[in-house]
Amino acid sequence: MAKKYQNYIDGAWSDSASGRTFENRNPANWDEVIGTFPLSNKADVDRAVAAARKAFESWRLVPAPKRGDILKKVGDLLTQKKEEIARLMTREMGKVLLETRGDVQEGIDTAYYAASEGRRLFGHTVPSELPNKFNMAIRVPIGVAAIITPWNFPMAIPTWKIFPALVCGNTVVFKPASDTPATATSLMEILTEAGVPKGVVNLVHGGGTEVGMALVEHPDVDLVSFTGSTSVGKKISELASRTLKRVSLELGGKNAQIVMDDANLDLALEGVLWGAFGTTGQRCTATSRLILHEKVYDRFLSMVVDKAKKLKLGDGLKEDVDVGPCVNEKQLATVEEYVKIGVQEGAVVVAGGKRASGDGLAKGWFHEPTILADVTPSMRVAREEIFGPVLSVIKVKSLEEAIEVANNTQYGLSSSIYTQDINNAYRAIRDIRAGITYVNAPTIGAEAHMPFGGVKETGNGHREGGWTVYDFYTEWKTVYVDYSGQLQRAQIDNAEN
Ligand code: UN1
């Protein structure tokens, strides 16, 4: 019997008011059911939002360092349970154990960062223009945050959002992706075990339309933080604007790695393999374009092809496996479709190219690591996000052309350049339009204490991670304290004439 999971609302585990459930299966072996989960509806959302709204009134008054102490405990519990959660995550969404351990570690790093931020949350004091008057600007919590997260980083991404939201004094309704509800449940259990009071974090499982959009439209939700596709992000932005909610969007990417003719090619090779095929290419930061200087095109391409063909596909729980499955049937179909589109457009498949078969692969959503050569910048496979193990390779003549090609997409999340020439590196840093640029490192690998986010249609200007996310989860309150004992009029009483 598959394990039966529940929602967590107002400090209690419960089924959905709908009475309906959905199943979650292992993408490497669809015979294995991870569990059944409530297919929640608007009534569940209403209950969760009401609980969060009520809890906000007391949680906002808990001193931030105390809230931080709870997050410290969360970090400790995540550390204790790292291996157990990593294994569950691999079974649930397929990426290899090395990476699911990294995913949990990102949550641990975020917890400890948030814990210490509870003792900072700096404001400003600024001299007043009037005598005997004190000016300050302080951060205050906003209210109820709806957290809507994807399946590719089932621990890291929820923690990027939930932990800072909590430290800042907000309460949360969390709607995880329906491909990774079990990992989300582990996080919820840890939050309660660490002492987060009832109603402060609520977990509602279910679909994007029924649960996600109900949250976005809810008049009692103040903030929405979403990571996912650009098309859904736009819809959220439109809907949320009706109630003037603050919205943070982390959306698609079409990240490029540039390899110049002076690059250390062995280093660039390791980088592109990790960037393109890590997490089966299912990261918003994945390297999905390789932009090669013509002088190294043939040589480097054959190096990458050779290695890509040797990557071992399979169940991510096996330590010798390099690449896991796509997360579900739909994602696999999208990958197959894009390979077809690439070929129709004139690209040449030089590695992989089809759904994988072979030992241990028959019951999973596996696709071969695929390389498309002779891609030109205008092709769809050079511009659209694929979210799978597909790398499009483009030849260029110069750094200027490489940057122009890198910028030739609606997205702007991550980017990378391999070069030994410091002038090339700094030009790339200046001219690539992306939220993140790596020099001599792949497009993936963001650290928890640095700003994370992108430009153009990758987002709406907010940043997760680091100190920057705390701007999203707080409102500035400006405070003037006049201790002169008389009416003092700014701009008037202190004017020369
Ligand atoms: C994502 O792909 O949505 O930089 C997040 C990275 C990870 C986070 C990726 N630390 O690739």
Please tell me whether residues 380 and 467 are part of one structural domain: no
Q: How far is the CA of 42 from the centre of ligand 1 (A)?
A: 31
Average pLDDT, the chain: 97
Q: Is the pLDDT of residue 401 over 90?
A: yes
Instruction: Check: pTM over 0.95? Answer yes or no.
Output: yes
- Closest residue by Cα to atom 11, ligand 1, is 444
Flag whether 453 is in a domain: no
Which residue type sits at 331? Q
What residues does ligand 1 touch, defined as CB less than 6 Å away? Answer: 106, 152-153, 156, 227, 283-285, 444-446
Q: What secondary structure letter does DSSP report for 195?
A: T
Instruction: Give residue 326's pLDDT band: very low, low, confident or very high (50, 70, 90).
Output: very high
Q: How far is the CA of 361 from the centre of ligand 1 (A)?
A: 26
Please tell me whether residues 295 and 343 are part of one structural domain: yes
Flag whether 110 is in a domain: yes
SS3 sequence of 38-97: ECCCHHHHHHHHHHHHHHHHHHCCCCHHHHHHHHHHHHHHHHHCHHHHHHHHHHHHCCCH
Flag whether 451 is in a domain: no
Q: Is the pLDDT of residue 20 over 80?
A: yes
Q: Which residues are catalytic?
A: 250, 284
Domain count, the chain: 2
Q: Is the pLDDT of residue 497 over 80?
A: no
What is the per-residue pLDDT across 282-318, written as a single tens digit (0 to 9) for each? 999 999 999 999 999 999 999 999 999 999 999 999 9
Paired tokens of 214: 């109900």
Q: How far is the CA of 103 from the centre of ligand 1 (A)?
A: 9
What is the per-residue pLDDT across 56-93, written as a single tens digit (0 to 9) for each? 999 999 999 999 999 999 999 999 999 999 999 999 99
Q: How far is the CA of 210 from the centre of ligand 1 (A)?
A: 27
Please tell me whether residues 316 and 212 are part of one structural domain: no
Flag whether 424 is in a domain: yes
Q: Is the pLDDT of residue 390 over 80?
A: yes
Please tell me whether residues 173 and 282 are part of one structural domain: no
Please tell me whether residues 219 and 278 are part of one structural domain: no
What is the per-residue pLDDT across 211-256, written as a single tens digit (0 to 9) for each? 999 999 999 999 999 999 999 999 999 999 999 999 999 999 999 9
User: In ligand 1, which atom is closest to the CA atom of 250?
Assistant: 3
Q: Which domain holds residue 118?
A: 3-251+459-478
Mutate to test the pocket of ligand 1, among 106, 279, 452, 463 (most ligand atoms within 8 A of CB): 452
Flag whether 446 is in a domain: no
Q: What secondary structure letter does DSSP report for 210?
A: I
Q: Is the pLDDT of residue 1 over 80?
A: no
Instruction: Give residue 494's pLDDT band: very low, low, confident or very high (50, 70, 90).
Output: confident
Please tell me whether residues 223 and 336 are part of one structural domain: no
Please tell me whether residues 222 and 277 are part of one structural domain: no
Flag whether 445 is in a domain: no
Please tell me whether residues 218 and 275 are part of one structural domain: no
Flag whether 164 is in a domain: yes
What is the C-alpha to C-alpha distance for residues 146 and 141, in angstroms, rounded to an integer? 14
- Closest residue by Cα to atom 8, ligand 1, is 446
Flag whether 447 is in a domain: no
Q: The tokens 């110049």 sit on which residue? A: 260
Please tell me whether residues 227 and 152 are part of one structural domain: yes
What is the C-alpha to C-alpha distance for residues 212 and 233, in angstroms, rounded to an integer? 11
Q: Is the pLDDT of residue 127 over 70?
A: yes
